Structure 1
Amino acid sequence: MPLQGLLTQIEHALAPVRHIMKPILSDPLVMGVWALFVLASVVTLWWDIRERNQALPSLMKGVWTLVVLYSGPFGLAIYWYSGRSQISNDSLWRRGFRSTAHCYSGCGAGEVLGFALLAGLLALQSTVLVAAGTFALAYLFGYALTVGPLMQEGVGFGEAMLDALYSETPSITIMEIAAIGTDLLIASQAHISDLLFWGALAFSLSVGFVFAFPVNAVLVHFGVKEGMKNPAEMRQSGGQAQAAD
C-alpha cells in the first residue's frame, strides 16, 4: 500500500534517531537523573506559584504543573518565559507558548493514558490500534480542556465543541503525529515494565510540544486562538482588587 510504503520509508530515514535514543532512554542512570530534574522543576514551579503567582487561575496552575511533569526543566523554562505574572511584556511567542502548553497538558494526559492502557496493560500488538486509540484519547482530553472552561463561562456544549474543533484540531493533530510517531519509532516493542517504555513516552511528549509550537503561534497570529490571557494582567488585576479591599 502507498501509505505503508511511505511509513516504511520514514521509519528507515529516522532509524539513526532510534539507534541513538534507545540506549539513552533505557539507561537507569540517565533516567534517574532526569527524574531528579523533573522533581526539582516541579518543586520550583510550585514554590514560585505559591510565593509569587497566586493570581494565576487554577486551570493554568494545573496546566503548568502537567507541562513541567511531562518535560521537566524544559517545561519550567517555558513557564518562566511565558507563564509568570512577572513577564516584562507579552508577545506572539509567549502567547504561542501558553497556547501550546494548554493544549499539551490535555493531550499529554491522553497520550500517557493511551500508551499505558493500550500498549502497556492491555499489551496490544497492533501498532495501528495503539496509535488510533492513543490519538482518540489525546483528542478527547485536548478538547475537554477547552470545552470545559467555556461551558463554565456559560457557553453551550455545541458552541463550545465547535470552538474546540476549530481552534484545537490543527495543533492537536500535529502534536500527536509527532509524539505518537516518536514513541512508536523508539519503543514500539517495549513493555510497560521496561524503562524504555517510560523513557520514550516522556521524550515523545516534548517532541510533540516542539512540533506543535509553530502551529499554535500561527493560529494565535491569525486570531484562530487567543493564546491564553497575559499573566501580567492577572497580577495587575489582583493588585487592584487588593487595593480596593
Structure 2
Amino acid sequence: MTTSQPGASWTTAARATLHCLTGCAIGEVLGLVLGTAFGLPNAATVVVSIVLAFGFGYGLTMRGVLKSGLAPAAAFKIALAADTVSIAVMEIVDNTVVVAIPGAMDAGLSSALFWLSLVLSLAGAFVITVPVNKWMIGRGRGHAVVHGHH
C-alpha cells in the first residue's frame, strides 16, 4: 500500500519530470540519430528510440538508487515503479509529435527540421508529463517511491 503525499507540489513534479526527461531524452535522441544515420525505416527508428529511452531512464534512476546500497535487482524494481508511467507518457507524446510533423522523420541529421521537431517533441512531453507525475507523487507513487533511497 502506498501513502499519500499531500504536499506534492508542482515544483516537485517538475523536478521528477525533468529527471525522467533526462534519461528519456538521451535515449530518444540517440535512437532517432542512430535510426536516421543508418537509414532505418521510421517504425524501426521509433522502436529503437523507445527502447533506448526506457533503458536510459531506468539506468539513471538505478544509478542513484544503487548508491543507497540496494542490490541491483531491488534497484531495478524501484526504477520500474518510479519511472514506467512517466517514461511511457513521454514516449507517447514525443514520438507522436515527431511522427506528426511532416517530413521530420525523413529529415537528415543536418536538417533544422529534424532537430526542431525533436526539441518540440521533448518540450511537449515535459509539459504533458508534469501533471501526471504530480498526481502520482501525490498518491505515493512514481518518483515518490525513489525518495526514500536517496
Give me the whole-angstrom Cα distance separating, in 2, the residues matched to 1:138 and 1:183. Answer: 15
Do structure 1's residue 142 and structure 2's residue 57 form an aligned pair? yes
Counterpart of 1:226?
144
Counterpart of 2:13?
96
| Cα-Cα RMSD | 1.7
Do structure 1's residue 122 and structure 2's residue 38 form an aligned pair? yes
Do structure 1's residue 171 and structure 2's residue 107 form an aligned pair? no
Q: Deviations over 1:55-89 (max 9, x none)?
A: xxxxxxxxxxxxxxxxxxxxxxxxxxxxxxxxxxx
Do structure 1's residue 205 and structure 2's residue 119 form an aligned pair? no
Counterpart of 1:72?
none
Counterpart of 2:71?
156
Identity %: 34
Q: Deviations over 1:9-64 (max 9, x none)?
A: xxxxxxxxxxxxxxxxxxxxxxxxxxxxxxxxxxxxxxxxxxxxxxxxxxxxxxxx
Shift in Å, 1:106: 1.0
TM value normalised by structure 1: 0.54
Q: Mind listing any 5+ residue stretches in structure 1 that lack a counterpart? A: 1-89, 230-245
Letter in 1 for 2:9: L
Larger Rg: 1
Give the counterpart of 2:46 among 128, 131, 144.
131
Give me the whole-angstrom Cα distance separating, in 2, the residues matched to 1:215 and 1:102. Answer: 14
Give me the whole-angstrom Cα distance separating, in 1, the residues matched to 2:39 and 2:95. Answer: 16
**Cα contact 2:62–2:79 (8 A) shared by 1:** yes
Identify the structure with bigger relative contact order (alpha carbons < 8 Å, sequence gap 6+).
Answer: 2
Count matched residues: 138
Q: Mind listing any 5+ residue stretches in structure 2 that lack a counterpart? A: 1-6
Do structure 1's residue 189 and structure 2's residue 109 form an aligned pair? no
Give me the whole-angstrom Cα distance separating, in 2, the residues matched to 1:91 and 1:216. Answer: 9
Do structure 1's residue 217 and structure 2's residue 137 form an aligned pair? no
TM value normalised by structure 2: 0.86
Tell me which stretches of 4 or more aligned residues in structure 1 moved more than 6 Å.
none
